[in-house]
Amino acid sequence: MPEFIFATCQIGAEPALKAEIQRSRPDFRFAFSRPGFLTFKLPEGHGLAADFDLKSTFARAYGFSLGPVAGRAFDAMAAEVWRLYGPGPAGAVHVWQRDLDAAGRHGYEPAITSSAIEARAAILKACPDKKLAASQSGPFDEAKQGDFVLDCILVEPNKWWVGHHRAKSPCSRFAGGMFLIEPKEPPISRAWYKVYEALAWSRLPIPPGSRIADLGSAPGGTSQALLEMGHWALGIDPAEMSSRVLQHPRFTHLRLRTTQVRRREFRNIHWLLSDMSVAPDYTLDAAESIVTRADVRIHGMLLTLKLLEWRFSERIGDYVGRVRSWGFDRVWTRQLAHNRQEICLAALKGRANSPFNAD
Ligand X SMILES: C[S@@+](CC[C@H](N)C(=O)[O-])C[C@H]1O[C@@H](n2cnc3c(N)ncnc32)[C@H](O)[C@@H]1O
Instruction: Give the number of residues in contact with ligand X, rule: CB under 6 A.
Output: 21
Q: Taking CB under 6 A as the rule, does residue 220 contact ligand X?
A: yes
Q: Where are the alpha helices (DSSP H) in the chain?
A: 14-24, 74-85, 114-125, 130-135, 191-202, 221-228, 243-246, 280-291, 316-324
Tell how strand 330-334 and strand 61-70 pair up: unpaired
Q: Taking CB under 6 A as the rule, does residue 217 contact ligand X?
A: yes
DSSP class of residue 264 equals: G
Q: How far is the CB of 106 from ligand X (least distance, A)?
A: 18
Q: Residue 177: left (phi > 0), alpha (psi -120 to 50), or beta?
A: left
Question: Which lies closer to ligand X via its Cβ, residue 143 or residue 198?
Answer: 198
Q: Taking CB under 6 A as the rule, does residue 10 contact ligand X?
A: no
Q: How far is the CB of 9 from ligand X (least distance, A)?
A: 22
Reference 113, options 131, 128, 129, 95; nearest CA is 95
Q: Figure out which of the listed residues 65, 210, 258, 341 binds ligand X, where binding follows CB under 6 A.
A: 258
Q: Figure out which of the listed residues 14, 80, 275, 342 binds ligand X, where binding follows CB under 6 A.
A: 275
CA distance 251 to 19: 42
Which span (11-19, 146-154, 160-168, 211-219) binds ligand X, by CB under 6 A?
211-219
Chain CA centroid to CA 330, Å? 17
Give CA separation, 36 vs 167, 176, 232, 250, 333, in Å. 21, 11, 38, 41, 19
Q: Figure out which of the listed residues 170, 219, 280, 300 binds ligand X, where binding follows CB under 6 A.
A: 219
Which span (114-122, 176-184, 232-240, 288-296) binds ligand X, by CB under 6 A?
232-240
Which span (7-15, 72-80, 132-140, 271-279) binds ligand X, by CB under 6 A?
271-279
Chain CA centroid to CA 38, Å? 17
Q: Taking CB under 6 A as the rule, does residue 80 contact ligand X?
A: no
Q: How far is the CB of 300 from ligand X (least distance, A)?
A: 17
Q: Which residues bind ligand X (CB under 6 A)?
A: 188-189, 191, 215-222, 236-239, 257-258, 275-278
